[in-house]
Structure 1
Amino acid sequence: MTTQPLPKPILFHPLKHHLGYIREFAQAGVLLPEQELKRAFRRIGGSQLDLYIGPLSPLQISEEVVLYLQQQGLLQPEAFRPYLALNGYRICTLSDGSAWALRWGVQEGRHVHLHPGRYSLHTLRVKANHLKTALAAAVACAKYEQPLSLELLNKVRASLLDLPPVQGYTAEEGLGKVLELVLRGV
């Protein structure tokens, strides 16, 4: 998995928000102990999230946002925080046309928290449990060198995610659509 450190002051969670990173994680996940996988899946959360499916890597996204903030004189926390004051976030558009929400980051030295813009170009709104299921299934398919089946899907939902079984899915919507996205690159 290509895990390049992101430049400060960027805080970004690619396992929740970046399809390319998620696919890489699925490949590398075969080597991770089950407890570490479970921790990673829990960090994805349980609500809805915005998933970037575009061509820019997490590093490219971060570098473009840093450049934007430098050009606007907003790179330092003293300038950035008041910039967000009106509604708690601002939108930044990147070279591929995708929009990114800039929020206040609570991690020391990483005060610019990035989220893909809701319903923006190269972004899909997905349920977190669908994403976790697709990621866990991709890891299992790679680990056991077998294609996806409903049995395998429900096995990982029970053993890794503590989620109930599904009766089925279609490729056109919901879980099936997210499975197709994640498994396509694995």
Structure 2
Amino acid sequence: MALDELGTVPWTVKGELILNCNCTVFCPCVISLGKHPPTEGHCQTWGGVRIDQGAYGDIDLSGLNIGLMIEIPGMMSRGNWKVGLFIDDRSTDAQYDALVAIFSGAAKGTTGLFQILVGEILGHERQPVTYETEGKTRHITVGRKIQGVVAPVAGKDPETDLVVTNTQYWMGPDVTVATASKGKLRAYGRVWDFDGRSAEICQIDWHGPR
């Protein structure tokens, strides 16, 4: 991928994203758009993305999965994020480069704010990434780096998810309130265990470069 192409190639990613963080209750960033501090004063998050349909130019990204590690020292909006990317090991070299461009923010568009907020990319690497849904429960495994089990928080009607709707959150307007029964990460010198902590499930429809 030529460097002069970055930020000019049309791209799309549609699917689902889950996050599990160290917040003790639902993440304040969804409502405050990062202007309220996380419940613990800092943010440590792992995430997973299932790409149902996606493309970067003429490169098909459908069917691939992504793992994420995000560390934020204070309020989300103030930046200085540290990010690690785990790219599906089924990806070709072209798919890998395209996904790094998108998830680093270099491809602009929906994830372009990463270029402003991320102070350091800790690394990006291939890993076997599985993202499976069993009923309402999501299971994600990223090699030996991440093991996660996330499910929606129960509402009054057990058949209907508890959803925060019509937000301006960067991931998407409708965010399902969830929790992790398992949320373990071991990567880039970090060892996290967020069992029982806040989680989010979001249907994503991202695009770029605008």
TM-score over 0.5 for the alignment?
no
More strand as a share of residues: 2
Bin for the TM-score computed over the shorter chain: under 0.3
Relative to the length of structure 1, the TM-score reads 0.28
Structure number with larger C-alpha Rg = 1
More helix as a share of residues: 1
